[in-house]
């Protein structure tokens, strides 16, 4: 409150009171009831009084019930405090020539959505969330102008290792497994020409894939010398599989030409396939540590 009394004295009165004494609500409709002037001293006379009522941000549809004396409503104002976005409405009232008999209540009705109470806490939470997300993004970004050769080398090695992995698996799926099928079908397939054509096709494909594996392995060693031993181990295991595949092919030749008995075939087939599966398991172990 701002009041002017005898002697041109100007002063402000402000105080805190429990809201339940002056504020009532019904859903989103609120009623605020406050005295326009309050008792300052006995037989007081107020030349001019100004009442400023600051309401929560988001209030609307103001209606005012005045006491039975003249009060002027001035233009509404806005005040911004912490976490406000568009400001809190301020209702301004003035009156002149007041005394103790004018100590009466002014009633202010307004609408306020109670969900707005959670707006400011949510603003704080979102602000911290955005801040931490930005920090994470900035920390992970690389603003350096120079080329990171180590990072590029690691990426190249990772790409080459994946390429080698695919080639080794292709040998298993398109060569090793096909040789097994060739062996199993050799007894029933008496077409020597078709058998030799299938075998020749597998030999050409196998040679091509081995050359590609050797080329990729050399590149890996050149970019990452620390992987030399692991690449060498994989190469040795692939050599073991190559030897077993040669045994599978030789047995298939004998079977197709009826140069081995059924009992001998079954015994040799079981032994050579066991070696092949063991060799392929060893290759998978070598790939896992590469």
> What distance lies between CA 17 and its chain's CA centroid?
47
Task: Note the pLDDT of residue 5.
Answer: 41
pLDDT digits (tens, 9 = 90+) for 181-217: 888 887 776 677 888 888 899 889 999 999 999 999 9
**Banded pLDDT at 129 (limits 50, 70, 90):** very high
Query: What separation in angstroms does the CA of 128 have from each of 84, 118, 132, 169?
Result: 17, 16, 6, 49
pLDDT digits (tens, 9 = 90+) for 133-167: 999 988 888 666 655 667 777 888 889 999 999 99
pLDDT digits (tens, 9 = 90+) for 83-118: 778 888 999 999 988 888 888 889 999 999 888 888
Whole-structure pTM value: 0.47
Q: Quick one: which of 285, 284, 286 has its CA closest to 172?
A: 284
- For residue 216, give both structure tokens: 């990729």
Is pLDDT of 54 > 80? yes
Percent of the chain with pLDDT over 70: 91
Contacts (Cβ under 8 Å, ≥6 apart) of 32 = 22, 23, 53, 55, 107, 108, 109, 110
Task: Note the pLDDT of residue 56.
Answer: 87
Residues in the chain: 290
């Amino acid at each position: 409150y701002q009041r002017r009394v005898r002697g041109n004295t100007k002063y402000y009165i402000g105080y805190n009171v429990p809201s339940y004494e002056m504020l009532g609500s019904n859903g989103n409709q609120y009623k605020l009831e406050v005295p326009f002037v309050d008792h300052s001293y006995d037989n007081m006379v107020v030349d001019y009084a100004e009442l400023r009522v600051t309401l929560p941000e988001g209030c609307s549809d103001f209606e005012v019930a005045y006491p039975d004396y003249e009060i002027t409503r001035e233009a509404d104002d806005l005040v911004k405090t912490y976490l406000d976005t568009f400001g809190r409405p301020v209702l301004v009232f003035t009156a002149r020539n007041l005394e103790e008999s004018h100590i009466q209540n002014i009633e202010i009705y307004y609408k306020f959505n109670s969900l707005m109470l959670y707006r400011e806490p949510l603003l704080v939470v979102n602000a911290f969330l955005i801040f931490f997300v930005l920090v994470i993004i900035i920390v992970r970004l690389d603003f350096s102008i120079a080329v990171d050769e180590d990072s590029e080398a690691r990426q190249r090695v990772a790409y080459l290792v994946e390429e080698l992995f695919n080639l080794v698996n292709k040998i298993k799926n398109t060569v090793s497994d096909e040789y097994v099928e060739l062996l199993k079908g050799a007894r029933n397939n008496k077409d020597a020409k078709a058998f030799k054509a299938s075998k020749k096709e597998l030999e050409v494909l196998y040679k091509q894939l081995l050359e590609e594996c050797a080329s990729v392995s050399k590149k890996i060693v050149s970019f990452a010398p620390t992987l030399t031993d692991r690449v060498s181990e994989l190469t040795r295991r692939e050599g073991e599989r190559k030897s077993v595949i040669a045994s599978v092919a030789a047995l298939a030749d004998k079977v197709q030409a009826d140069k081995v008995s059924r009992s001998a075939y079954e015994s040799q087939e079981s032994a050579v396939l066991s070696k092949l599966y063991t060799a392929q398991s060893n290759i998978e172990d070598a790939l896992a540590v590469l």
